[in-house]
Amino acid sequence: MSMQTAGTGTQNRVVIAHGGGGELMGRLIRDHLLPPLRNERLAALTDSAVLPWSAGEVVFTTDSYVVTPLEFPGGNIGRLAVAGTVNDLAVMGATPLALSLGLILEEGLPLEVLDRVIATLAATAREAGVEIVTGDTKVIERRASAAPGGTPTEGLFINTAGVGRLRPGVRLGLERIEPGDAILVNGPIAEHGLAVMSVRNGIEFESSLRSDVAPLNGLVAALLDAGGDIKFLRDATRGGVAGVLADICDGRNLSLEIDEARVPLSATARHAAEMLGLDPLTVANEGKCVVVVAEQDAERTLRACRAHPLGRDAALIGRVVDTTPALVELMTRAGGRRVVQRPYGEELPRIC
Amino acid sequence: MCLAVPGQIIACHGDEATVDLQGNQLKVSRVLTPEAVVGDWVLVHAGFAITQLDEAEARETWDYLQQALGDPTGDEPGGEAS
Amino acid sequence: MNTAAPQLVSRLRELCRGREPRIQLMEVCGTHTVAIFRTGLRGLLPPELRLVSGPGCPVCVTAQRHIDAAIELAARPGVILATYGDMLRVPGRRGSLERLRAEGATIHVVNSARTALDLAREHADRQVVFLGVGFETTAPATAATVLEADREGIKNFCVLMCHKLVVPAMRALLNAGDVPLDGFLAPGHVSVIIGAAAYAPIVAEHHRPVVIAGFEPDQILRGLVALVRQVCEARAAIENVYSAVVTDAGNCVALDLLAKVCVPADTAWRELGTIPQSGLELAPPYRRFDALERFGVQLGADENHPLCRCGEVITGKAEPADCPAFADACTPLSPIGPCMVSSEGTCAAWYKYNRAAVQTGRHG
């Protein structure tokens, strides 16, 4: 079957045959995937990519991306797919080297959507200084139409796995955290989750909020280069900052005190969260990490963070303390305290 | 029992109004506040403006209206660990 | 950020100092319960002041028979059930709307009754049933939407009426006399609609002060200070600290709309039984929009879980920690009763903000 020229109708959409391993799939890869991703390893289209390795430890991660809608203010699933996996490597103290790209396309997906996603994905990879060195493409049959008023099937799922090299001399881990350590975030929180919600069916509101999705490996490298004793890093994705704080509290059985007034939160995000009845601490981010650093190096690390474009509005938000039992507590703006817990699941916006 | 948030009407179209909430915009019904016009502040609940309010009073009553747009924290600018 | 909270807290402590027996105030509204926890105010209150939760969580007080009716309607072929998200996980006799949705029923979470009407416009071949839950803050939205449907001659939209009225509930609580209450912190946004003067029967019949406050920390504290002052001075008056949005008369347009489209009716409240004239039904000219009538569904009986003590919690007779199931058999992930499911349920609030502290005795 020959590929039709650009026009209306199914010629411009993914069809089952695109996943068949034959001519049509070859054209899909050659015309829609290789050009934006342009690198020699990928273009060779070998079964596996061969990467040079000299010394040091391999850091390896994988993540799948199923966000809907595919495109949202500030980014799309392609940017997410690179930034998310790069960040998982970066927060381990690894220099990201290469990513794999697994695509699952649904029959009916407009090719122009695919093109936009891949273009953004490629641009994000260049920004992060990583290459997509190997990939896979599958096509699934069109799913039954969504229930009326529900999110229409968007038909694009991505898996990226990433390898990196652990920076020599870096020792990051929960076990290094001690009472007295300072806690830092690199900028305003809750923007990704709220931006996605603003375009999600059933919630819709216009917003100036943009997803903060960004690869953080450059920022993390700058923080580690600054030479302070950084104990632990984690990106605050699903579950928000509260999720990471809960990880620390549960993992180390230590308490954390967070100063609500110091948590960076834009007026727009704050108002949107109020409108939806959500706690900003529990809303997802895709360009924010929580940094735990020795008390004496807190200021130095903060300065290094603020010197980087992705850390301009960084703030020291609290510290690790040795009160028992282990709880995460927020010192509220009103001068009181309350417990912060991991959210149960996807927090639905409230009305009543 | 009721989440309601304050915002300013920036456009009216028939029974509907667009309300700005510090950079977020919602389309709501004006049916319960028929006299509200562009520039007025209203309280929004469940897709409806339920009452009008004075801007100065609104800023005094709601803590988050005191934060400047573009200010990433609620603190005074340059707030560092003291 | 300017806040008068520290001064207000001091004032409150000063006013309460040495009070014996302690002052018991009811926070009628679930939104107040949550706000008091979330802002950290709970732990700042003096020990001589006890705040008791009231029946002001519309999700918590929706009788099981209404949930069962919603489930039955949603299961009917061709029905799209539209509901506020708060209701999704509330357990009926057999399952919840959330579970029914997972089994294939068409159930949509909406943020506004108008969205439900839009669904009806978009899907002329389906019947849209809107679950109308909430107090007087939310009821006018339902009424306005019914009116709009009526004007446009929309035939595939109807409402399962579950709206309830706050003042009759407060009166029923006081008439039952089970819990000594010195005063009420009244719900700010309900009051926007009904007006401050609506609480007159509480003051006249029961001589308890009623103070209307908003939900920001300064507002709550001002409200509590005003209440405590009245209690200490043995006064009982309506006081409004939320004057930015609450007037004596309320929103007359909204009240007129309610009077036109709805009528008060005797209504079953979860665990509280039937309270006279405490809910809203559709007025005769709009009965054809009533979902129960349109589908010929009868309300069944309530069959509440034997371990569930939500009824005592919402009437201030018990605190969540008094319930043997709390944080044990009943948790937010596996709730037995609505007080744990609802994001404003007292048990959910305690579990989220206070459980750990209850175990350690650190907070109030």
Note the pLDDT tens digit of each residue in C11-60. Answer: 999 999 999 999 999 999 999 999 999 999 999 999 999 999 998 888 88
Of C3, C134, C144, the CB nearest to B32: C144
Of C29, C114, C217, the CB nearest to B29: C114
Residues B29, C161 contacting (CB under 8 angstroms): no
pLDDT (average), residues A109-136: 96
pLDDT (average), residues C184-208: 97
pLDDT at A21 (0 to 100): 86
Contact between B80 and A209 using a beta-carbon 8 Å cutoff: no
Q: Which two tokens stand for residue C175?
A: 């008439």
Residues in CB range of C240: below 8 A, 6 or more apart: C191, C196, C211, C212, C246, C248
Q: What is the mean pLDDT of chain C?
A: 92
Contact between C39 and A333 using a beta-carbon 8 Å cutoff: yes
Split at pLDDT 50, 70, 90, the class of A6 is: very low
With residue B58 as reference, give the H or E element that holds it.
Answer: helix B55-61
Q: A268 in contact with B at a CB cutoff of 8 Å? A: yes
Q: Could you give the count of Cα atoms lying within 13 Å of C268 in the half-sphere of its Cβ?
A: 13
Contacts of C137 in chain B (CB under 8 A): 1-2, 4, 45-46, 50
Of A182, A264, A277, the CB nearest to B72: A264
Contact between B63 and A333 using a beta-carbon 8 Å cutoff: yes
pLDDT at B79 (0 to 100): 39
Q: What angle (nearest 5°) sits at the alpha carbon of residue B72, between those of residues B70 and B75?
A: 115
Contact between A334 and C354 using a beta-carbon 8 Å cutoff: no
Asked if residue C207 has pLDDT above 70, the reply is yes
Asked if residue A92 has pLDDT above 90, the reply is yes
C290: closest CA of chain A, how far (Å): 21
Contact between B25 and A205 using a beta-carbon 8 Å cutoff: yes
pLDDT at C359 (0 to 100): 60
CA distance C338 to A138: 44
With residue B12 as reference, give the H or E element that holds it.
Answer: strand B5-13
Contact between B73 and A267 using a beta-carbon 8 Å cutoff: no
Contact between C40 and A150 using a beta-carbon 8 Å cutoff: no
Query: Which residue of chain A has the CA closest to C86?
Result: A350
Q: What are phi and psi of A332, to 5 degrees?
A: -80, 160
pLDDT at C167 (0 to 100): 96
In the 8-state DSSP scheme, what is residue C62?
A: B
CA dihedral of residues A107, C100, B4, B37 (deg, nearest 10): 60
Split at pLDDT 50, 70, 90, the class of A129 is: very high
pLDDT at A202 (0 to 100): 66
Of the candidate ranges A195-209, B3-17, C289-303, the one whose mean pLDDT is the lowest = A195-209
pLDDT at C46 (0 to 100): 97
pLDDT (average), residues C125-130: 97
pLDDT (average), residues C187-210: 97
Q: What are phi and psi of B59, to 5 degrees?
A: -65, -30
pLDDT (average), residues A192-199: 93
pLDDT (average), residues C295-319: 90
Q: Could you give the count of Cα atoms lying within 13 Å of A216 in the half-sphere of its Cβ?
A: 32
pLDDT at A10 (0 to 100): 56
Query: Which residue of chain B has the CA closest to C244?
Result: B57
Contacts of B44 in chain A (CB under 8 A): 275
Contacts of B46 in chain A (CB under 8 A): 351
Q: A180 in contact with B at a CB cutoff of 8 Å? A: no
Split at pLDDT 50, 70, 90, the class of A1 is: very low
Contacts of B58 in chain C (CB under 8 A): 244
B35: closest CA of chain A, how far (Å): 23
Of C111, C216, C245, the CB nearest to B53: C245
Nearest in space to C67 (alpha carbons), one of C99, C42, C35 = C99
Nearest in space to C258 (alpha carbons), one of C150, C169, C141, C132 = C141
**Facing residues of C345 across strands?**
none
Residues A95, A167 contacting (CB under 8 angstroms): yes
A315: closest CA of chain B, how far (Å): 7
Q: C30 in contact with B at a CB cutoff of 8 Å? A: yes
Neighbours of A310 (CB within 10 A): 20
Residues in chain C: 364
Asked if residue C263 has pLDDT above 70, the reply is yes
Of B3, B46, B68, the CB nearest to A267: B68
pLDDT (average), residues A41-65: 91
C20: closest CA of chain B, how far (Å): 31
For residue A39, how far is the Cα from the chain centroid?
24
Name the 3-class secondary structure at A266.
coil
Q: A338 in contact with C at a CB cutoff of 8 Å? A: yes
Asked if residue A336 has pLDDT above 60, the reply is yes
pLDDT (average), residues A252-259: 97
Residues A350, C348 contacting (CB under 8 angstroms): no
pLDDT at C304 (0 to 100): 79
Split at pLDDT 50, 70, 90, the class of B67 is: confident
B75: closest CA of chain C, how far (Å): 6
CA distance C325 to C309: 9
Contacts of B59 in chain A (CB under 8 A): none
Asked if residue B61 has pLDDT above 70, the reply is yes
Asked if residue C1 has pLDDT above 90, the reply is no
Query: Which residue of chain A has the CA closest to B1?
Result: A352
Q: Which residues of B have a CB under 8 Å from any CB of C?
A: 1-4, 29, 31-34, 43, 45-48, 50-51, 53-54, 57-58, 60-63, 66-67, 74-75
Q: C41 in contact with A at a CB cutoff of 8 Å? A: yes
pLDDT (average), residues A57-69: 94
pLDDT at C343 (0 to 100): 80
Q: What angle (nearest 5°) sits at the alpha carbon of residue A55, between those of residues A53 and A59?
A: 75
Q: What angle (nearest 5°) sits at the alpha carbon of residue B17, between those of residues B13 and B22?
A: 140
Split at pLDDT 50, 70, 90, the class of A222 is: very high
Of C31, C113, C244, the CB nearest to B58: C244
CA distance A100 to A135: 5
CA distance C332 to C310: 14
Residues in CB range of A21: below 8 A, 6 or more apart: none
Contacts of C2 in chain B (CB under 8 A): 66
Name the more confident of C350 and B10: B10
Name the more confident of B69 and C15: C15
Of B33, B47, B50, the CB nearest to C112: B47
| Touching subunits for chain C (3+ Cβ pairs under 8 A) | A, B
Q: C106 in contact with A at a CB cutoff of 8 Å? A: yes
CA distance A280 to A289: 15
Q: A335 in contact with C at a CB cutoff of 8 Å? A: yes
Q: C151 in contact with B at a CB cutoff of 8 Å? A: no
pLDDT at B12 (0 to 100): 97
CA distance A149 to C71: 19
Name the more confident of B2 and A206: A206
Contact between B3 and A261 using a beta-carbon 8 Å cutoff: no
pLDDT (average), residues A116-141: 96
Asked if residue A345 has pLDDT above 90, the reply is no
pLDDT (average), residues A317-323: 96
Q: Which two tokens stand for residue C220?
A: 């709550």
Q: C144 in contact with A at a CB cutoff of 8 Å? A: no
Share of chain C above pLDDT 90, in %: 74
Max CA pair span of chain B: 52
Query: Which residue of chain B has the CA closest to A203?
Result: B26
Of the candidate ranges A333-342, B36-45, C260-269, the one whose mean pLDDT is the lowest = A333-342
A268: closest CA of chain B, how far (Å): 5
Asked if residue A315 has pLDDT above 90, the reply is yes
pLDDT at A152 (0 to 100): 54
B32: closest CA of chain C, how far (Å): 5
Of C113, C242, C251, the CB nearest to B46: C113
Q: What are phi and psi of C190, to 5 degrees?
A: -60, -40
Nearest in space to A42 (alpha carbons), one of A122, A105, A120, A113 = A122
pLDDT at B20 (0 to 100): 97
C33: closest CA of chain A, how far (Å): 13
pLDDT at A55 (0 to 100): 85
Q: What is the mean pLDDT of chain A?
A: 91
Name the 3-class secondary structure at C187.
strand
For residue C58, how far is the Cα from the chain centroid?
3
Q: C58 in contact with A at a CB cutoff of 8 Å? A: yes
A326: closest CA of chain B, how far (Å): 24
Contact between A274 and B22 using a beta-carbon 8 Å cutoff: no
Share of chain A above pLDDT 70, in %: 91
Asked if residue A28 has pLDDT above 60, the reply is yes
Query: Which residue of chain C has the CA closest to A149?
Result: C119
Task: Scan for tokens 């054209």, then name that residue.
Answer: A27
Name the more confident of C323 and A4: C323
Contact between B66 and C1 using a beta-carbon 8 Å cutoff: yes
For residue A138, how far is the Cα from the chain centroid?
23
Contact between A263 and B46 using a beta-carbon 8 Å cutoff: no
Give alpha helix (H) positions in chain A: 23-28, 34-37, 40-43, 77-90, 111-128, 191-198, 217-225, 240-252, 267-276, 298-306
pLDDT at C362 (0 to 100): 43
pLDDT at A351 (0 to 100): 53
Split at pLDDT 50, 70, 90, the class of A125 is: very high
CA distance A47 to A297: 46
pLDDT at C85 (0 to 100): 86
Residues A132, A159 contacting (CB under 8 angstroms): no
